[in-house]
């Protein structure tokens, strides 16, 4: 820097020396503060990076570091490194959102810092190819700004405008006023580039209004500077100065050196055109110093050339040469052809004015050369632009295809997922069914076991009852047998002394009959009668007992014979009561002849005895059934009340007194016993006052064939009629 002092004139030296030292001091403080601020953020982020436990956190820190370096404006390499680290991690983890964010940073750094538009466009397309489902609207909004800037740099103002408008729409939907202000600023720049300064003014003013609204100092600084610059281009240098001075104040407050330098150049420009060379030089010097501080060769080149121009106009060729040389050096270093072109032009003019033709020609030649180069460059740029446009369109097609395929894949995945869910639900249902089935089976088994136990218990109880019943039956049978035996023995043993009593009573009667007291004779008569009754009772009991005691002897019994014998025994009774007995032809059955005689005799006897008709009628008949004969003995006697239908067959059961009808109450009981013993059944049917019919059955098969020669039906017509002898 010391070389600058030597070449500057004495007055200016003092002036410039003072202002230089002042500037150096001010800038030193500013840069320390700015450096400090930026570095504090970077230091904080690096500390966080060291402490970060997860790669997700690391990715976010890399992205923030890339942002800080992009904002710094002169750390393109670091910004690229950090964005690349984030990109690699995101791709490793298949984290599509962070991959998109890293690609956006790479786009931005190439669009704004390295000016490698081809690379910027490649990253932009890669970012745009990532499906929108992975990113938020806020993530994506920035990419439109980057796109706008790339197209602006490629002079494709139409596409740039479209991109910015897209971004503006999203910000408006999000009600993001800061975003809206930023896009208005970018649109202002776009129209400025197109030299449509009126439109540029409108957008810059909108941006300024919005920044004023939420008091964004940085935004206001940019908008004011841009407005000043635009007014300058419109020839309104007062407003140029006014706005840029305001911006300068803000830049100083914000310690934004880059903007400070830009603003200095713009203020210098205003003063220059307001013909205030001193102020113009002062501000250009400021810009130059800041440029040197920042090592920003573009600023140095611009400021130095402007200073050279002023000195040239002041006819101070030496200073002019000095600054042109500085500008030339910086422009050559930065490799900016447009800057070089301006400087060559200035140098040519200077030499031309001084009449140094050889030198003038030298710079003119250079000027023409560089203009050609610029023209070529413009053409190349156009070519690149076309290539990019072609690639972009191709890429857009690919993206469309990729999207369609991705959509298809998503549908397939969704379907598969649905199928999986359905399968899982099905399996769960089956499992639930199996569990329910097992439970039901278990319950059923338990229930069955319980039931089985209950059945076993009941069976055991039943068996016990049966055994008890069998035992008591046996006991009963035993006691019955004993009783019957006792009855038999008793009656048998009583029979003989009773006969003696009757004989002696007869003897006594005969001896005392002639001169006996009639009352004594009456007593004797009663005694004899009672003894006879007793004798009859004993005979009946004996008969009854005998049926059970005796072994059953079965023969072929012709019942017609049994009937004839019975009637013979009943001859006296029949004649006493004028009874008539009618019978159809009876079959021969396998039975016991004595029993059959007793059976007929008892039933016919009762039919006559319990009969008050003038001519008692007893009818005997038979019907043949499949396996037995059913006999009947019907009378026209007094009948039996139906309530005694069963009980008349009980032993000693009588429905009348002995005074009414003689009897012992054993006859029907004996009949029942005989029929049962032969395997048949006995019952009665009666209508009191009109007569009684006794029915009894005898099985055809009674331990062997007992069929008579002729079937009973054929014998029905042959009636046997018996009448008592009158
Ligand atoms: P009994 O020696 O008294 O005749 P039975 O056993 O032969 O004894 O008859 C029992 C009772 O049944 C009789 O006392 C009588 O009252 C009634 N009985 C029996 N047969 C007849 C009949 N054919 N008609 C009306 N009553 C009868």
> Measured from the CB, is residue 13 less than 6 Å from ligand 1?
no
Residue 486, both tokens: 């006792």
Asked whether 631 and 622 are in contact (CB, 8 A), the reply is yes
Band the pLDDT of 683: cuts 50, 70, 90. Answer: very high
pLDDT at 181: 95
| Dihedral over Cα of 362, 365, 370, 373: its sign | negative
Residue 478 pLDDT more than 70?
A: yes
Ligand 1 contact, 648 CB (< 6 A): yes
Quick check: CB of 667 below 6 Å from ligand 1? Answer: yes
Instruction: Indicate whether residue 9 lines ligand 1 (CB < 6 A).
Output: no
Under the banding of pLDDT at 50, 70 and 90, the label for residue 479 is confident
The DSSP result for 157-183, as a single string, is: HHHHHHHHHHHHHHHHHHT-HHHHHHH
Distance 654 CA to ligand 1 centre (A): 6
pTM for the full predicted model: 0.48
The rounded distance, in Å, linking the Cα atoms of 87 and 697 is: 117
Protein residue whose Cα sits closest to atom 7 of ligand 1? 667
Using most ligand atoms within 8 A of CB, pick from 642, 654, 694, 696 the residue to mutate for ligand 1: 654
Ligand 1 mean position, distance from CA 25 (Å): 160
Query: pLDDT at residue 220 above 90?
Result: yes
Q: Whole-number mean pLDDT of the chain?
A: 85
Cα Rg of the chain (Å, integer): 74
Smallest CA separation from ligand 1 atom 20, residue? 606
636 lines ligand 1 (CB under 6 A): no
How do beta strands 555-558 and 588-591 pair? antiparallel
Name the band, by pLDDT with cuts 50, 70 and 90, for residue 183. very high
> What distance in angstroms lies between residue 648's CA and the mean position of ligand 1's atoms?
7
Q: How sure is the predictor about 407, in pLDDT bands with cuts at 50, 70 and 90?
A: confident
DSSP symbol at 650: S
pLDDT of amino acid 12? 35
Q: What is the pLDDT of residues 119-165, one digit of tens each?
A: 999 999 999 889 888 888 888 898 999 999 999 888 888 899 999 99
What pLDDT was estimated at residue 144?
Answer: 92
pLDDT bin (cut points 50, 70, 90) of residue 14 is very low
Q: How far apart are CA 161 and CA 157, in angstroms?
A: 6
CA distance 536 to 663: 9
pLDDT reading at 716 higher than 70: no
Q: How far apart are CA 451 and CA 444, in angstroms?
A: 10
| Percent of the chain whose pLDDT exceeds 70 | 90
According to the 3-state scheme, what is the secondary structure of 58-110? HHHHHHHHHHHHHHHCCCHHHHHHHHHHHHHHHHHCCCHHHHHHHHHHHHHHH
* Range in 13-17, 291-295, 475-479, 688-692 the model is least confident about: 13-17
Tokens in use for 44? 């904080």
pLDDT of amino acid 518: 83
Give tens-digit pLDDT for 624-658.
Answer: 999 999 999 999 999 999 999 999 999 889 999 88
Distance between Cα 716 and ligand 1 center (Å): 28
Q: Ligand 1: which atom is nearest the Cα of residue 644?
A: 12
Parallel, antiparallel, or unpaired for β 682-687 and 628-635? Answer: unpaired
Ligand 1 within 6 A of CB of 543: no
Regarding the beta carbon of 656 and ligand 1, being less than 6 Å apart is answered yes
Which of 606, 616, 673 is the pocket-test mutation for ligand 1 (most atoms within 8 Å of CB)?
606
For residue 112, give the DSSP letter: I
pLDDT at 434 over 70: yes
The candidate with the shortest Cα–Cα distance to 636, out of 665, 607, 602, is 607
Half-sphere exposure of 109 (CA within 13 A, CB side): 26
User: What counts of helices (H) and strands (E) characterise the chain?
Assistant: 24, 8
CA distance 444 to 549: 58
Task: Output the pLDDT for position 643.
Answer: 95
Whether the pLDDT of residue 684 is over 60: the answer is: yes
- Which pLDDT does position 10 carry in this prediction? 30
- Burial state string for 239-269 with b = 16 or more CB within 10 A and e = fewer than 16: bbbbbbbbbbebbbebbbbbbbbbbbbbbbb
473: left (phi over 0), alpha (psi -120 to 50) or beta: alpha
What is the CA(549)–ligand 1 centre distance, in A? 25
What is the band of 717 on the pLDDT scale with cuts at 50, 70, 90?
very low
- List Cα–Cα distances, 478 to 423, 440, 474, 482, 525, in angstroms: 79, 55, 6, 6, 41
Query: pLDDT tens digits, residue range 570-611?
Result: 999 999 999 999 999 999 999 999 999 999 999 999 999 999
Looking at residue 635, its pLDDT comes to 97
State yes or no: pLDDT of 393 exceeds 60. Answer: yes
> Mean per-residue pLDDT for 546-575?
89
Q: Would you place residue 202 in the very low, low, confident or very high pLDDT band (cuts 50, 70, 90)?
A: very high
Most confident of 262-271, 363-372, 395-404: 262-271
Question: So what's the pLDDT on residue 375?
Answer: 80
Give the pLDDT of residue 48: 82
Place 726 in a pLDDT band, splitting at 50, 70 and 90: very low
Q: What percent of the chain has pLDDT over 90?
A: 51
- Classify domain 552-715 by CATH number: 3.30.565.10
User: Under a CB-based contact definition with an 8 Å cutoff, are residues 577 and 722 in contact?
Assistant: no
């Amino acid at each position: 820097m010391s070389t600058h002092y030597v070449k500057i004139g004495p007055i200016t030296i003092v002036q410039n020396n003072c202002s230089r030292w002042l500037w150096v001091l001010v800038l030193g403080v500013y840069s320390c503060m700015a450096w400090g601020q930026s570095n504090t953020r970077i230091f904080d982020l690096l500390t966080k990076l060291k402490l970060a436990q997860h790669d997700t956190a690391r990715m976010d820190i890399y992205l923030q570091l890339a942002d800080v370096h992009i904002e710094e404006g002169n750390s393109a390499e670091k910004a690229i490194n950090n964005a690349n680290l984030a990109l690699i991690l995101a791709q490793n983890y298949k984290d599509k959102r962070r991959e998109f964010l890293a690609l956006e940073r790479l786009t931005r750094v190439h669009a704004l810092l390295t000016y490698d538009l081809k690379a910027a466009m490649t990253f932009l397309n890669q970012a745009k190819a990532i499906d929108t489902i992975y990113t938020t609207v806020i993530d994506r909004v920035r990419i439109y700004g980057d796109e706008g800037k790339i197209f602006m740099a490629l002079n494709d103002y139409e596409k740039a405008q479209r991109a910015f408008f897209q971004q503006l729409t999203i910000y408006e939907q999000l009600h993001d006023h800061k975003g809206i202000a930023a896009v208005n600023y970018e649109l202002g720049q776009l129209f400025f580039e197109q030299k449509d300064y009126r439109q540029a003014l409108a957008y810059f003013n909108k941006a300024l209004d919005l920044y004023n609204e939420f008091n964004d100092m940085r935004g206001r600084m940019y908008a004011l500077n841009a407005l000043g610059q635009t007014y300058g281009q419109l020839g309104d240098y007062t407003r140029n100065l006014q706005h840029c001075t305001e911006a300068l104040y803000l830049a100083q407050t914000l310690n934004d050196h880059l903007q400070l330098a830009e603003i200095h150049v713009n203020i210098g420009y205003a003063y220059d055109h307001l013909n205030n060379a001193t102020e113009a030089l002062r501000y250009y010097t400021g810009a130059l110093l800041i440029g040197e501080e920042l090592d920003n060769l573009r600023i140095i080149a611009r400021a130095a050339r402007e200073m050279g121009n002023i000195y040239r106009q002041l006819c101070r060729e030496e200073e002019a040469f000095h600054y042109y040389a500085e500008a030339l050096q910086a422009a050559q270093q930065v490799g900016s052809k447009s800057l070089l072109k301006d400087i060559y032009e200035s140098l040519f003019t200077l030499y031309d004015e001084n009449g140094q033709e050889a030198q003038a020609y030298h710079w003119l030649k250079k000027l023409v050369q560089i203009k050609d180069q610029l023209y070529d460059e413009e053409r190349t740029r156009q070519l690149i632009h076309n290539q990019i446009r072609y690639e972009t369109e191709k890429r857009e097609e690919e993206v469309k295809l990729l999207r369609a395929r991705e959509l298809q894949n998503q549908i397939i995945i969704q379907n598969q997922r649905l199928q999986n869910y359905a399968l899982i639900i099905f399996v769960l249902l089956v499992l639930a069914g199996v569990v329910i089935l097992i439970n039901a089976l278990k319950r059923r088994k338990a229930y069955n076991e319980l039931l089985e136990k209950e059945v076993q218990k009941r069976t055991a109880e039943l068996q016990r009852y049966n055994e008890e019943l069998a035992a008591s039956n046996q006991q009963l049978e035993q006691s019955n047998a004993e009783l019957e035996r006792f009855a038999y023995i008793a009656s048998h043993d009583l029979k003989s002394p009773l006969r003696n009593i009757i004989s002696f009573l007869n003897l006594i009667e005969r001896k005392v009959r002639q001169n006996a007291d009639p009352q004594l004779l009456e007593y004797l008569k009663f005694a004899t009668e009672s003894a006879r009754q007793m004798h009859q009772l004993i005979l009946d009991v004996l008969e009854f007992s005998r049926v059970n005691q005796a072994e059953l002897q079965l023969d072929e019994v012709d019942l017609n014979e049994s009937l004839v014998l019975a009637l013979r025994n009943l001859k006296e009774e029949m004649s006493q009561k004028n009874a008539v007995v009618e019978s159809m032809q009876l079959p021969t059955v396998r039975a016991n002849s004595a029993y059959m005689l007793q059976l007929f005799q008892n039933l016919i006897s009762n039919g006559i005895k319990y009969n008050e008709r003038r001519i008692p009628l007893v009818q005997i008949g038979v019907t043949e059934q499949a396996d037995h004969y059913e006999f009947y003995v019907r009378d026209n006697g007094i009948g039996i009340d139906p309530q005694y239908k069963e009980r008349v067959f009980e032993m000693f059961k009588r429905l009348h007194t002995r005074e009414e009808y003689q009897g012992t109450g054993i006859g029907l009981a004996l009949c029942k016993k005989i029929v049962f013993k032969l395997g048949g059944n006995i019952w009665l049917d009666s209508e009191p006052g009109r007569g009684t019919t006794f029915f009894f059955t005898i099985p055809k098969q009674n331990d062997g064939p007992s069929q008579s020669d002729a079937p009973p039906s054929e014998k029905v017509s042959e009636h046997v009629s018996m009448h008592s002898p009158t």
